[in-house]
Amino acid sequence: MTASSASRTARVQRETSESSIDLSIDLDGTGVSDIETSVPFYDHLLTAFAKHSLTDLTVRARGDIEIDVHHTVEDVGIVLGQAIKQALGDKRGISRYGDALVPLDEALAQAVVDISGRPFLVHTGEPAGFEFHLIGGHFTGSMVRHVFEAIAFNAGLTVHVTVLGGRDPHHIAEAEFKAFARAFRLAKALDPLVSGVPSTKGAL
């Protein structure tokens, strides 16, 4: 079966003492999303990811946010990564590489994605103190990198995200997610000129 005729969808459910998650994706969607993580700013970021990567995404997550949003946010990132890996299947016919440069007013973020099968994250450029800022009063800036780690490591992606400018933490975080989304959109796209798996090794 070729990738162009296979359904690139996945549903992953994960239950731990810290969170309960049910997530569905369609890599060949139109960016329709229905997301309730109980962490409002994270819903905002995941909605942007879906919209700008043309991935249909449904997420229902409940977790111990009375302690901190950390577990719920990280665990949704893990499950999203697992779902991406599952939906990509054997990776036949994909473009493999994608890159994007996305502004949000004064913020500017660059992302590069390689659907390599080799988990790696290089993440630089957030301004000093960004990691300590509570965006929306509940979402710690440090979680932006943590989510990219969770996605990259569980999906088997090489991801480079560079913040090139920005002052407002909301703008910076959103620009990072949109840049990642646009880069992922290009990388997962099916390229009609690619036959088989785009690797000299024959596997990704």
- Stretch of residues binding Mn ion (CB under 5 A), selected from 32-40, 68-76, 87-95, 135-143: 68-76
Task: Please state, in angstroms and as integers, the Cα–Cα distance from residue 159 to each residue in 2, 21, 22, 122, 187, following that order.
Answer: 26, 24, 25, 6, 11
Taking the complex as a whole, how short is the minimal distance between the CB of residue 128 and Mn ion, in angstroms? Answer: 21
- Stretch of residues binding Mn ion (CB under 5 A), selected from 74-82, 134-142, 165-173, 188-196: 74-82
- CA distance linking residue 14 with residue 23, whole number of Å: 9
Under the binding rule (CB under 5 A), the answer on residue 126 touching Mn ion is no
Question: With respect to Mn ion, which residue has the nearer C-beta, 74 or 126?
Answer: 74
- CA distance linking residue 145 with residue 137, whole number of Å: 18
Task: Please state, in angstroms and as integers, the Cα–Cα distance from residue 130 to each residue in 72, 95, 103, 144, following that order.
Answer: 20, 33, 17, 10
Question: With respect to Mn ion, which residue has the nearer C-beta, 19 or 116?
Answer: 19
Q: Distance of alpha carbon 74 from its chain centroid, rounded?
A: 12
The three-state secondary structure class of 87 is helix
- Stretch of residues binding Mn ion (CB under 5 A), selected from 6-14, 47-55, 72-80, 136-144: 72-80
Question: With respect to Mn ion, which residue has the nearer C-beta, 50 or 155?
Answer: 155
**Residue among 26, 28, 56, 74 that touches Mn ion (CB under 5 A):** 74
Residues in the site for Mn ion, rule: CB under 5 A? 74
